[in-house]
């Protein structure tokens, strides 16, 4: 019973960790997304509305291609019509993403990316990684295609890639995040459990002193169980690292 209770507790803690520290940015439109805390990332000040790319013919890191990119608004260049990203190779233009395909994607290694895709002769996908630089208006670095797989990588450093307060007026005050709501629920349930358990132990079982605490044995052994759990996890990770180095 004790180990089952510990499993349930650790499951709740892991769930809280995932919800409180996981990173999500929900798409509002092709250049704006909203974070769990109500702040937004909005690239619209960077985009040109003239039909031209903000960043034109930027060379990649070594493949010999050049890329043009415009956040938020479509442009036309070479054979690229109504695109967000245009790849030019040997003088020929290829659509490497459209505004209506834009989606926000996060990975732990590179952070938040604005991802575009388009299919002409083949599927091409462009990952524009957003780097928060408060003192930078907007600088684009192009890594290009690492391997011949139709995936292209851009890095946009800008103050507009930093989270800011939402001034659109669409939300009253941001509200609570999902992790905060879940944490409140767990705290309330623990409070009810402790108060209800104390009342039951006192009124029904006529317990006195520390015996009134529900499942006293579990709470007494909990620190030791947690220590054992961390030791087991650490030793397992260390063992795996040893195997990987052989």
Instruction: Give 167-221 pLDDT, tens digit per residue.
Output: 775 544 445 556 667 778 888 887 888 888 888 878 887 777 877 788 877 777 8
User: Domain ends where: 111, 135, 161?
Assistant: 161
Q: What is the rounded distance in angstroms from the CA atom of residue 72 to the CA atom of residue 62?
A: 27
**Within a 10 A sphere around the Cβ of 44, how many other Cβ atoms?**
14
pTM summary value: 0.61
What is the band of 232 on the pLDDT scale with cuts at 50, 70, 90? low
**Within a 10 A sphere around the Cβ of 94, how many other Cβ atoms?**
20
User: Domain ends where: 130, 161, 192?
Assistant: 161
pLDDT computed for residue 19 by the predictor = 42
Q: In which residue are the tokens 């002193």 written?
A: 209
As a whole-number percent, the residues of the chain with pLDDT over 90 amount to 50
Residue 166 forms part of a structural domain: no
- Partners of 29 in the beta sheet? 32
Q: In which residue are the tokens 């996890």 written?
A: 233
What is the band of 242 on the pLDDT scale with cuts at 50, 70, 90? very low
Number of folded domains in the chain? 2
User: How far is C-alpha 183 from the geometric centre of its chain's CA atoms?
Assistant: 20
CA torsion through residues 69, 72, 77, 81, sign: positive
Residue 133 forms part of a structural domain: yes
Q: The tokens of 101 are what?
A: 């395909």
Q: In which residue are the tokens 């890329």 written?
A: 67
What is the band of 109 on the pLDDT scale with cuts at 50, 70, 90? confident
What is the domain range of residue 86?
A: 25-161
- If asked whether residues 43 and 141 sit together in one domain, one would say yes
Q: What mean pLDDT, rounded, does the chain reach? A: 82
pLDDT tens figures, 70-89: 999 999 998 999 999 999 99
User: How far is C-alpha 72 from the geometric centre of its chain's CA atoms?
Assistant: 20
User: How far is C-alpha 59 from the geometric centre of its chain's CA atoms?
Assistant: 29
Among 120, 123, 109, 127, residue whose Cα is nearest residue 69 = 127
């Amino acid at each position: 019973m004790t180990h089952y209770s510990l499993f349930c507790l650790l499951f709740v803690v892991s769930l809280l960790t995932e919800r409180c520290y996981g990173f999500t940015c929900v798409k509002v439109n092709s250049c704006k997304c909203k974070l769990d805390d109500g702040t937004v990332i909005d690239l619209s000040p960077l985009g040109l509305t003239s039909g031209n790319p903000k960043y034109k013919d930027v060379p990649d890191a070594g493949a010999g291609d050049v890329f043009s990119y415009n956040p938020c608004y479509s442009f036309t260049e070479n054979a690229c019509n109504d695109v967000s990203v245009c790849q030019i190779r040997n003088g020929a233009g290829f659509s490497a993403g459209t505004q209506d395909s834009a989606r926000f994607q996060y990975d732990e290694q590179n952070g938040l990316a604005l991802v575009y895709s388009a299919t002409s002769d083949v599927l091409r996908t462009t990952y524009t990684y957003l780097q928060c630089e408060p003192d930078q208006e907007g600088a684009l670095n192009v890594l290009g295609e690492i391997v011949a797989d139709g995936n292209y990588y851009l890095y946009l450093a800008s103050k507009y890639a930093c989270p800011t307060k939402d001034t659109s007026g669409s939300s009253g005050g941001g509200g609570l995040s999902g992790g905060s709501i879940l944490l409140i629920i767990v705290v309330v349930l623990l409070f009810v459990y402790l108060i209800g358990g104390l009342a039951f132990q006192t009124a029904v079982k006529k317990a006195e002193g520390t015996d009134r605490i529900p499942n006293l044995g579990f709470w007494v052994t909990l620190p030791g169980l947690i220590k054992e759990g961390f030791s087991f996890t650490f030793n397992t990770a260390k063992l795996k690292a040893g195997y990987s180095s052989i």
